[in-house]
Amino acid sequence: MLTPKRIHALPLQLANQIAAGEVIERPASVIKELVENSLDAAATEIEVTIEGSGSQLIQVRDNGFGIHPDDLGLALSRHATSKISSSDQLSQIASLGFRGEALPSISSVSNLSLVSRQHDSECGWLIHHEEDSAAPVAHPPGTTVAVRDLFFNLPARRRFLRSARTEQQQILTTLQRLALSRFDVRFQCDLNGQQKLNLPIAETQAQQLVRVGKICGQAFVKQALVIDQQFDFIDIKGWLGHTETHRPQADQQYFFINGRVIRDRLISQVIRQAYAELIPPGRHPVYVLYMTIPLDRVDVNVHPTKHEVRFRETRLIHGLIHRAVSDELHQQINTKLSPTSSPVEQQIAE
Ligand code: ADP
Ligand code: MG
């Protein structure tokens, strides 16, 4: 029977756990948040360590600019961020994070430790909870976040996790997406003591293609078509799968907007349409595409995970993406390049 009750504020821990429900769905979500924080801290090296399915341990260590010791507690408290400070900045977001929710959310559903050392500091500083005072520890410049026993206090969430293999696969996929977003950063991942990913910084196009090949496979890279198109205020660069490298699943489609990993159903549909008759029905193209658009024409504050975006001129942008992909495909097909002389092969040879 429902009876009227008085209103009270939720305890902090519970409020954080509720917020965590939106952003931290599984171990891979932790990886995404922590690695994005490392990228926002201008790290050039990111090392990930996973134990078990990620529920046992997820650790991300970077060489970024670190956190001031006095701010460590704030880093773990809700709605605290170094990335924005006024509402007009919401329309110009250049960083991956800005909501100040990831660390407090993760911390409310795990045992978290945060160690950070700024470059001009003599040692690192460690905290576990937002109310702790920081303790000095040995640590190289940069930040390490270790997340143990994920969802230990949320049995319902734990039950929804899939097999260790599936969770591990999700973690690697998430990392690979992030690794394709930043060729200027070295990524490494160890899983249960085994090296799963080792991607050195890729400066030249040829080095970038080596990274793409490790993630998307050699078949894709061998025949991939280079795309580099500018229209009005957007540009689209990257690699389009040859019309012969289609797949049964849409599992090798990478799209980035201003360096952010985007998974947007409508954009996927637009690109699929550009391939329309060029690949068999029911098959999916492979692509790695980077779109650049002025920050104020795209809204990333649509969903807490920021995987989806809203454009100020949706139809126009979708039309431009379609045109860029379609033009490129038809141009390449009309010139009837044989697979052995595709632009990518030329690029590697250069
Ligand atoms: P957000 O990224 O939205 O600001 P987070 O909860 O993810 O919120 O992080 C809170 C703050 O902690 C960040 O604004 C940043 O100042 C700091 N921080 C988190 N991770 C790192 C890191 N790896 N290196 C440097 N600073 C970090
Ligand atoms: Mg963040």
d(Cα 103, Cα 108) in Å, to the nearest integer? 9
98 lines ligand 1 (CB under 6 A): yes
Below-50 pLDDT ranges, the chain: 337-342, 345-350
| Beta-carbon contacts of residue 7 (< 8 Å; ≥ 6 apart) | none
What's the confidence (pLDDT) of residue 19?
87
- Measured from the alpha carbon of residue 99, the closest ligand is 1
What's the confidence (pLDDT) of residue 349?
45
Q: Which atom of ligand 1 is least distant from the CA of 64?
A: 24
Q: Which atom of ligand 1 is least distant from the CA of 105?
A: 6
Separation of 76 CA from ligand 1 center, angstroms? Answer: 9
What letter represents residue 343's amino acid? P
153 lines ligand 1 (CB under 6 A): no
320 lines ligand 1 (CB under 6 A): no
What's the confidence (pLDDT) of residue 162?
93
- At 96, list the tokens: 């991956």
What's the confidence (pLDDT) of residue 306?
77
d(Cα 308, Cα 315) in Å, to the nearest integer? 16
What's the confidence (pLDDT) of residue 327?
93
Specify whether the CB–CB gap between 41 and 143 falls below 8 A.
yes
Q: Which atom of ligand 1 is least distant from the CA of 33?
A: 7
Domains detected in the chain: 12-199 (3.30.565.10), 205-349 (3.30.230.10)
Nearest CA to ligand 1 atom 14: 81
81 lines ligand 1 (CB under 6 A): yes
Q: Cα torsion for 206, 41, 100, 20, to the nearest 10°?
A: 50
d(Cα 245, Cα 222) in Å, to the nearest integer? 10
What's the confidence (pLDDT) of residue 336?
53
Q: Which atom of ligand 1 is least distant from the CA of 95?
A: 2
Q: Which atom of ligand 1 is least distant from the CA of 100?
A: 8
d(Cα 164, Cα 12) in Å, to the nearest integer? 31
ipTM of the complex: 0.99
67 lines ligand 1 (CB under 6 A): yes
Separation of 326 CA from ligand 1 center, angstroms? Answer: 39
62 lines ligand 1 (CB under 6 A): yes
Q: How many other CB atoms sit within 10 Å of the CB of residue 177? A: 19
229 lines ligand 1 (CB under 6 A): no
Beta-ladder partners of 239:
226, 288
What's the confidence (pLDDT) of residue 247?
93
255 lines ligand 1 (CB under 6 A): no
- Total-model pTM: 0.93
106 lines ligand 1 (CB under 6 A): no
What's the confidence (pLDDT) of residue 342?
47
d(Cα 328, Cα 229) in Å, to the nearest integer? 8
What's the confidence (pLDDT) of residue 302?
82
Specify whether the CB–CB gap between 343 and 225 falls below 8 A.
yes
d(Cα 110, Cα 149) in Å, to the nearest integer? 5
